[in-house]
Structure 1
Amino acid sequence: MVDTKLAGRTVLVTGASGGIGAAVARAFSAEGARVAVHYFSERTAPPGVTWEHVTPAADVAEALAAGLRDAVAVPADLREPDAARRLFDAVERLLGPVDVLVNNAAHCETPDTFGALTTDGLRRHYEVNAIAPALLISELASRQRDGREPCVVNVSTDAARAFPGQIGYGTSKAALEALTRAAALDLGAAGIRVNAVAPGPVQTGWMDAETYARAGEIVPLGRVGEPADIADAVVFLASHQARWITGQVLQVAGGHAL
């Protein structure tokens, strides 16, 4: 039996109200971890942008707690300059110091291609997908104490190298992968590991039947991914078994976009 040594550790998962984030929260809870389920708290939505991340996060936290695990739902708008500090303060107050940070929250909007790019649209992508993870990692590092070995797992995409039609999203995820490597080098001496997973096509509700079938045909392993496929990889990178792994981007995509 493998002991991940995650039992009793505090895990903060951003963007965990559904999809991959909720699956990651459940996977850590199954390992005995205390889980903070972050969700997007809307203040002001930009004109023409519809936010879909409302609060089933409370339902996720309640379901985890029903399994006799410590779990809480914590709101934050990651675009706000002090969101990282306030989020860490809340989690520490409710569950204790953060041992594992999973930067899963992401912003994606359309149209997002050449000829339709806007300053505001690009800014929103980078604020959530690159700047917020950097500030959250910095907050984790600033609270590091001797004897603890916290780690970070960032969630990118296997299309980060080139994502036509998704310029803001794809390039902000490429920045997240560069951040992963830089943070691993800068924070290694402090005992903080930083890695990333790069999911391929995963069904989180956005694929209709035609898209689902087409995506399955282009994946070498012959099927579309499920949130649990990504969650298991995230748990591995945070586990004791990955204790000498840092600065890596692990593609979890069934061989898609190699």
Structure 2
Amino acid sequence: MKCALVTGGSRGIGRAICLKLAAQGYYVLINYRSNTEEASKTLAQIVENGGTGELLQFDISDKEALKQALERWIEANPDKYIEVLVNNAGIRDDSLLAWMADEQWDNVLKTNLDSFFYVTRVVLNGMMTRKYGRIINIVSLSGIKGLAGQTNYSAAKAGVIGATKALAQEIARQGITVNALAPGFIKTDMTEGLDEKELKMLIPARRFGQPGEVAAAVAFFASPEAAYITGQVLSINGGLYT
């Protein structure tokens, strides 16, 4: 059975991606750290829509915990394989660099950048054995243009963009693609505290994006039709930055 693993799949963009991939016929592994209630809601919606999946709890910032959780699942499910990996989970902890605490830098880099390496390395073995796979990294507009107050977040997402381009070249011959999506302002919990009325005037489309619009792009990158597209970063930002 072909599976899709979505890190941070309990809410927002992650939930929309889980629902979309389930609708495409994937058995969805919904990763989450602690919010079992929201993760269960995601799974319930998948089932209601006729899809299948399960919850897979681990902290992506804990390299040993995630390695054990993923290897245990792979060993226990020889009839399933992870064909699509969506590295979606991430955090922000904004501050001007001059006042940024060590913990703010370390936690954001560990959760957004280090997790890409540790999760992908475990999943990649199965893809290389089967000579097929799709790795899709959710990055950010901040990783492309930078944003004041987000030196840590911008550095982490820019790092994932660089890793996307490098890994794509390493494994293209194995039939595995690696791409990234860079959302701008999307209506999720992460943007709730922002002044939407003011910010949308900076966006040519004059609105925030919807999680489903990001999920639709993920579904395309995950599809067989996207086999000749790799090492790319697709911006989803309403024309805010081109």
TM-score normalized by structure 1?
Answer: 0.86
Shift of 1:89: 2.9
Query: In 1, Cα distance between the equivalents of 2:85 and 2:45?
Result: 21
Contact 2:11/2:39, CA 8 A, preserved across alignment: yes
Of the structure 1 ranges 115-124 and 96-105, higher mean CA displacement relative to structure 2 is found in 115-124
Contact 1:198/1:249, CA 8 A, preserved across alignment: yes
Shift of 1:82: 2.0
Shift of 1:130: 0.6
Query: In 1, Cα distance between the equivalents of 2:138 and 2:208?
Result: 17
SS at match of 1:115: helix
Query: In 2, Cα distance between the equivalents of 1:239 and 1:159?
Result: 27
Query: In 1, Cα distance between the equivalents of 2:122 and 2:190?
Result: 32
SS at match of 2:188: coil
Query: In 1, Cα distance between the equivalents of 2:36 and 2:93?
Result: 16
More helix by share: 2
Shift of 1:200: 0.6
Shift of 1:54: 5.7
Percent identity over the alignment is 26
CA offsets 1:194-245 (integer angstroms, 9 cap, x no match): 0000001011034459711122211112211010011111111111121100
Query: In 2, Cα distance between the equivalents of 1:142 and 1:135?
Result: 12
CA offsets 1:86-140 (integer angstroms, 9 cap, x no match): 3423543357211000000001113x21222122211111111111111212112
Find the counterpart in structure 1 of residue 84 from structure 2: 100
Find the counterpart in structure 1 of residue 198 from structure 2: 214
State which of 137, 156, 180 in structure 1 corresponds to 2:139: 156
Q: Does residue 223 of structure 2 align to residue 255 of structure 1?
A: no
Find the counterpart in structure 2 of residue 56 from structure 1: 38
- CA-based RMSD of the aligned residues comes to 2.0
Q: Does residue 231 of structure 2 align to residue 241 of structure 1?
A: no
Query: In 2, Cα distance between the equivalents of 1:54 and 1:109?
Result: 23
Query: In 1, Cα distance between the equivalents of 2:100 and 2:149?
Result: 10
State which of 50, 55, 71 in structure 2 corresponds to 1:89: 71
Query: In 1, Cα distance between the equivalents of 2:109 and 2:82?
Result: 24
State which of 21, 24, 28 in structure 1 corresponds to 2:21: 28
CA offsets 1:6-47 (integer angstroms, 9 cap, x no match): xx5310000011000000000111111110110014xxxxxx
Query: In 1, Cα distance between the equivalents of 2:162 and 2:139?
Result: 11
Find the counterpart in structure 2 of residue 142 from structure 1: 125
Contact 1:62/1:71, CA 8 A, preserved across alignment: no
Query: In 1, Cα distance between the equivalents of 2:235 and 2:105?
Result: 25
Q: Give the number of aligned pairs.
A: 239
Find the counterpart in structure 2 of residue 115 from structure 1: 98
Structure 2: give runs of 5+ residues left out of the alignment. Answer: none
SS at match of 2:198: helix
SS at match of 1:99: strand
Query: In 1, Cα distance between the equivalents of 2:4 and 2:222?
Result: 10
Q: Could you tell me which amino acid in structure 2 is paired with residue 149 of structure 1?
A: Y
Contact 1:101/1:151, CA 8 A, preserved across alignment: yes
Structure 1: give runs of 5+ residues left out of the alignment. Answer: 1-7, 42-52
